Structure 1
Amino acid sequence: MQNGVTFWTEGGPSIGMGHVMRCINIAHALETEEMPMHFLVNNERPVIDRLNEEALFHIVYPMTGRHANRLTNGVVVIDTKRDVSAQVRSLREEGRKVVLIDNSSTGEADAIVMPTPVYRGLGSGNLLSGSSYLIIGDNFRRSRGTEPLVHSAPLKVLVTMGGSDPFNLTETALKALWNIEGIEVTTVIGPAFKITETMEEFIKRSNERFIFVFNARDMAPLMRASHIAFTAVGTTVYELAYMGVPSVLIGNFESDAQDLATLHELGISRSLGYYRDLNPADISEAAESFRDNPASWTEMSLKARNLTDGDGASRIADLIRSLIKQQN
């Protein structure tokens, strides 16, 4: 099994699908190669369903497993937030090449890719980071269009807080946006949302100005049709940026503070801070500011659109090809 690639990753309602989707996008960038390729994933229905939809072969095997060498090809791509030091060491002892995605838990991997412009860790010879390595799916690349977005009335607002929205930030945003004139709001309800009575009432009151989308399979058309988006820190911020959509960010965790500040400084996002410290009036003010200041919105939209060329998955695929050649 020396000449192929194994993607070892995980996803689901509690951690989202970002890890899995990044690996899927890299896998698609490798599809022109005739090589064995499969996934090792956790046993979560959203993960299995997505891989089936993508026609990608997979084996259920947990990230905590210590004997993956028997199930892997020559290059193993690992995407998880867990400490995988022991797994990396074991794989390399068995002659595998290892690539870590968004994980700096060990420096023993052959390559570490931090697909973010806000990485602040220590550099090393095997580490690649920055906007050039942002992983953008083909669906976004197809939907982006050649011309930048144009400010218009009404302002099209997207609210998307991930697959589970553990702190009900969607509800918080809707409360603040509901009575603002001159905006139209599309709200994405994820597959693991806990629908409160208040949210049920919002959904019942949906109209031409407030639309709800359930379990969206492709976010690209929704982003393409939006001027701004309220969201949390994560891969969605960069997908929005690629589409030219400025984001208004609310932090799920106190540890998001530095990322919020850096994304704000990049000029692609506006940070409203940690959700526990949030003043709902700040949500209203942000929407009204983008509505009433076309020049400011246009400047931020162009900065967002120019953040990355969208070829990160191809660059990582080239890295994997080079490691396969070393195996041979």
Structure 2
Amino acid sequence: MNRRFLFYCDGNELVGFGHFSRCLTIATELKKYPFEVSFCGNYDRFSIERLSAADIPYNAKMSADMSAIVLVDSYHQTEASLLAIKHLCMSVLVIDDFDQYRFSFLDGIINVRVAAEQFVTPTDKHILGVKYFPFSPELRAIRHNNLSIQALPVTSILIALGAKDRFKVMDVLIETLDSLVCDVNLTILSAEKPVVSCKNNTLKYFSFVENMADFYQEHDVVISGGGSIKYEAGFCMRANAAISQTVEQRHDTLLLQQHNVCFDLGLSEEVTPVTLKQSLASFLDEKIRIAQLQCMQTVYCSESLTHLVNMIMRVINVRN
């Protein structure tokens, strides 16, 4: 009988879809192995449709199953809540982007940020580094097609600041870009529609999309809110920058900037029109974008999803 692998995460407009998407990528890969995969959490229509398309069942609440392996992906867990999950199953793994879940009862701790090996003290439970990032097969195909492409003139920019534009910088960003570039297609992915218009460029708005891969393929440059999109854009060989929505995301963006695979546009609550215009002008310089693309070739690993699943299975086997 196949072992059960349960993903415990949410996927809705309130928390966004980053946690859910990476769990779904891992789950789809794990289905190639002897696992019965399922999800547990709060999901909206978009997430439910994606689970249905992948033929993966889900529940709103978790039930006890002492044969199950559970992978938790949420920033809102505590030691008590994770211990409660541990009492319901055989093994608990957690995706820990900010090294906050170093609890002895956990069976695996996954941190796939750039340079995680340098700022996390490793244990035999840890899976560390961007070489294990769960990039989907769709993104891998885009990366393969773009590995030899050098920076081209900017004709299209994708702007995706996340589920919540907490400090209302979207309109400032659009106005600033409109003053810097001409005849460029600006695509906005946001829960809230911008209230500004463009004089010099074309503006398109989407409240959500079903396939981010298409948008990475169709745009030359990506500006994100500091979450997983900056990783996905870099993996797809797209020059990218981030206006980070939280201090933790800013720290991560600065690490990526040190490795020259992302450009820091600042913390959203501190951004001003003047500072944003200066930093955007620097980022859009062709030399900056070419240097990013060269580093993206080596920092990211095309086989990272396979490496991650292999390491998860190794950790599980060692500890059970």
TM-score (norm 2): 0.85
Match of 2:122 in 1: 123
Match of 1:141 in 2: 140
Size of the aligned set, in residue pairs, is: 314
Match of 1:64 in 2: none
1:232 to 218, 225, 234: 225
The yes-or-no answer on 1:74 pairing with 2:74 is: no
Match of 1:108 in 2: 105
The yes-or-no answer on 1:98 pairing with 2:89 is: no
Deviations 1:229-253 (A, max 9, x none): 2211111110011011222221212
In 1, are the aligned partners of 2:225 and 2:243 still within 8 Å (CA)? yes
The 10-residue stretch of structure 1 (240-249 or 164-173) with the greater mean CA deviation from structure 2? 164-173
The alignment yields a C-alpha RMSD, in angstroms, of 2.8
Match of 1:304 in 2: 296
- In structure 2, relative to structure 1, the CA distance for the partners of 1:80 and 1:73 (3 Å cut) is farther
In 1, are the aligned partners of 2:189 and 2:207 still within 8 Å (CA)? yes
Corresponding residue SS for 2:64:
helix
Paired letter, 2:192 = K
The yes-or-no answer on 1:315 pairing with 2:307 is: yes
Corresponding residue SS for 1:33:
coil
**Which blocks of at least 5 consecutive residues in structure 2 are unaligned?**
none
Corresponding residue SS for 2:76:
coil
Paired letter, 2:242 = L
- In structure 2, relative to structure 1, the CA distance for the partners of 1:297 and 1:12 (3 Å cut) is same
**Which blocks of at least 5 consecutive residues in structure 1 are unaligned?**
62-67
Match of 2:273 in 1: 280
The 10-residue stretch of structure 1 (101-110 or 7-16) with the greater mean CA deviation from structure 2? 101-110
Corresponding residue SS for 1:4:
strand
Match of 2:192 in 1: 194
Instruction: After the TM superposition, list the runs of 4 or more consecutive aligned residues in structure 1 that deviate by more than 4 angstroms.
Output: 90-95, 205-208, 323-328
In 1, are the aligned partners of 2:2 and 2:34 still within 8 Å (CA)? no
Percent of pairs identical after alignment?
17
Shift of 1:325: 4.8
In 1, are the aligned partners of 2:156 and 2:185 still within 8 Å (CA)? yes
1:242 to 226, 235, 243: 235
TM-score (norm 1): 0.84
- In structure 2, relative to structure 1, the CA distance for the partners of 1:280 and 1:155 (3 Å cut) is farther
Match of 2:25 in 1: 25
